[in-house]
C-alpha cells in the first residue's frame, strides 16, 4: 500500500487529474465527438492514455529535481527526494508509463494525438524543468506543455489542429500565468532557497507581479468569449446564454481576485488567486460544454 501511495505521489495525482480533465473536456467539445458510439468507453480510453503520459512527465520532473525537492519543505516527502524510491525505479516507471500512454493514444485515436502528447512530455520534462533555475522565462515555456492537453484532446476528436483547439489552448495558456504566479508568490522563500526563478521580477513578489496577474486575467476575457463567436458554443437559447453568463461571471471573479492581490500584496490574497484559479478552469470548461453547439 505504501508503494502505491509513492507511485501516486510520483505522478502528482491531483495535478495529473486536473491536466487530463482539460484534455478530456477538449475532446468532448470537438464537433466529431457527437458521432462516437459508446462515448464513455472512448472518454475512459483517452483519460487512461492522458494520465499515463502526464504521470510520466511528472515522474521525470521529480527524478530530475530530487535534490532540490529534498531541500524544500513542501516537496521533501516526495518518494525519490525522500529516498523511498531509487532514481532507477523512478526513470523506469516514467519511461514505461510514457511509452504506454503514447501507444494508447496512437492505437485508439491517431498519430497526431500521440505526437503532440510526446512533444508535450518532452517540453515539460526536458525544457521547462531545467529552465526553472535559469530564468523566469521558464513559466512561459512551462505554459506551452501546460496548455497542449487542450490541443491533444482536440486532435483526438478531430485528427486536426483546427480553430477550436487553438482557442482552448489559448484559454489554458493564459490561465496558467495568474495561477502559477500565485503559487510562486506563496512558495517564494522555498523556491528562492533552491535557485528557482519563477516570478517575473527579480525582487520577488512585487506590484509588477501582481499587475501581471491582472493583465493575464484580462486577456482571458476575449479568449473565453471566442467560442461563442466562432460557432464552437452557442448563445441562442437559454442554456447557451446561461453558459455565457457563467463564463462572464467567472472572468469577473478571477479579475477581482487578482486586483485584490495588487491592492493588498499579501500571501493570503495570493492564496485566494491560487484557489480561485483552481475553481475557474473547470467552471469555464463546464460552461463551454453546456453551451456546445
In the numeric block, the cell 483552481 is attached to 278
**Which residue(s) pair with 292 in the sheet?**
233
pLDDT at 201 (0 to 100) = 63
- The dihedral region occupied by 166, where left means phi > 0, alpha psi between -120 and 50, and beta the remainder, is alpha
28 to 24, 84, 196, 292: CA distances (angstroms): 6, 39, 37, 10
Query: Alpha-carbon distance 65 to 169, whole Å?
Result: 27
So what's the pLDDT on residue 71? 86
SS3 track for the chain: CHHHHHHHHHCCHHHHHHHHHHHHHHHHHCHHHHHCCCHHHHHHHHHHHHHHHHHHHHHHHHHHCHHHHHHCCCCCCCCCCCCCCCHHHHHHHHHHHHHHHHHHHHHHCCHHHHHHHHHHHHHHHHHHHHHCCCCCHHHHHHHHHHHHHHHHHHHHHHCCCCHHHHHHHHHHHHHHHHHHHHHHHHCHHHHHHCCCCCCCCCCCCCHHHHHHHHHHHHHHHHHHHHHHHCCCECCCCHHHHHHHHHHHHHHHHHHHHHHHHHHHCCHHHHHHHHHHHHHHHHHHHHHHHHCEC
Residue 184: per-residue pLDDT: 86
Report in angstroms the alpha-carbon separations of 89 from 1, 68, 77, 94.
17, 19, 17, 9
Rounded to 5°, angle at Cα 210 from 206 and 216 = 140
C-alpha closest to that of 184 among 283, 267, 108 = 267
Q: What was the pLDDT predicted at 250?
A: 97
Q: What is the pLDDT of residue 74?
A: 82
| C-alpha cell, 3 | 508503494
- For the whole model, what pTM was predicted? 0.92
The Cα 39–Cα 36 span in angstroms is 6
Query: How far apart are alpha carbons 165 and 31 in whole angstroms?
Result: 11
CATH of 1-160, one of 3.90.1170.50, 1.10.357.140, 3.20.20.100, 3.40.50.1820: 1.10.357.140
Q: How far apart are CA 113 and CA 107, in angstroms?
A: 10
> How confident is the model at residue 129, as a pLDDT?
84
Q: What are phi and psi of 163, to 5 degrees?
A: -55, -45
Q: Where are the domains of the chain?
A: 1-160, 162-293
What pLDDT is attached to residue 142?
Answer: 87
> How much is the pLDDT for 70?
85
Q: What is the rounded end-to-end Cα distance, in angstroms, of the chain? A: 45
Please list the ranges in the chain whose pLDDT falls under 70. 198, 200-201
Amino acid at each position: 500500500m505504501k508503494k502505491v501511495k509513492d507511485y501516486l505521489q510520483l505522478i502528482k495525482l491531483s495535478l495529473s487529474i486536473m491536466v487530463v480533465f482539460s484534455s478530456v473536456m477538449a475532446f468532448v467539445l470537438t464537433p466529431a465527438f457527437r458521432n462516437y458510439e459508446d462515448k464513455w468507453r472512448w472518454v475512459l480510453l483517452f483519460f487512461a492514455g492522458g494520465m499515463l503520459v502526464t504521470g510520466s512527465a511528472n515522474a521525470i520532473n521529480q527524478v530530475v529535481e530530487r535534490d532540490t525537492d529534498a531541500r524544500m519543505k513542501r516537496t521533501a516527502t516526495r518518494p525519490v527526494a525522500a529516498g523511498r524510491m531509487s532514481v532507477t525505479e523512478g526513470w523506469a516507471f516514467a519511461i514505461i508509463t510514457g511509452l504506454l500512454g503514447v501507444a494508447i493514444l496512437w492505437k485508439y485515436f491517431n498519430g497526431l494525438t500521440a505526437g503532440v502528447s510526446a512533444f508535450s512530455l518532452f517540453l515539460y520534462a526536458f525544457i521547462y524543468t531545467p529552465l526553472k533555475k535559469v530564468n523566469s522565462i521558464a513559466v512561459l515555456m512551462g505554459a506551452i506543455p501546460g496548455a497542449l492537453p487542450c490541443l491533444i484532446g482536440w486532435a483526438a476528436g478531430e485528427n486536426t489542429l483546427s480553430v477550436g483547439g487553438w482557442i482552448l489552448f489559448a484559454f489554458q495558456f493564459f490561465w496558467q500565468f495568474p495561477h502559477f504566479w500565485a503559487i510562486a508568490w506563496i512558495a517564494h522563500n522555498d523556491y528562492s532557497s533552491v535557485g528557482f526563478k519563477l516570478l517575473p521580477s527579480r525582487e520577488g513578489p512585487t506590484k509588477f507581479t501582481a499587475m501581471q496577474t491582472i493583465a493575464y486575467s484580462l486577456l482571458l476575457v476575449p479568449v473565453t468569449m471566442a467560442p461563442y463567436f466562432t460557432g464552437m458554443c452557442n448563445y441562442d437559447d437559454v442554456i447557451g446564454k446561461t453558459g455565457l453568463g457563467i463564463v462572464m461571471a467567472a472572468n469577473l471573479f478571477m479579475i477581482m481576485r487578482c486586483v485584490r492581490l495588487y491592492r493588498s500584496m499579501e500571501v493570503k490574497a495570493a492564496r485566494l488567486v491560487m484557489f480561485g484559479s483552481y475553481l475557474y478552469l473547470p467552471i469555464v470548461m463546464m460552461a463551454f460544454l453546456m453551451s456546445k453547439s
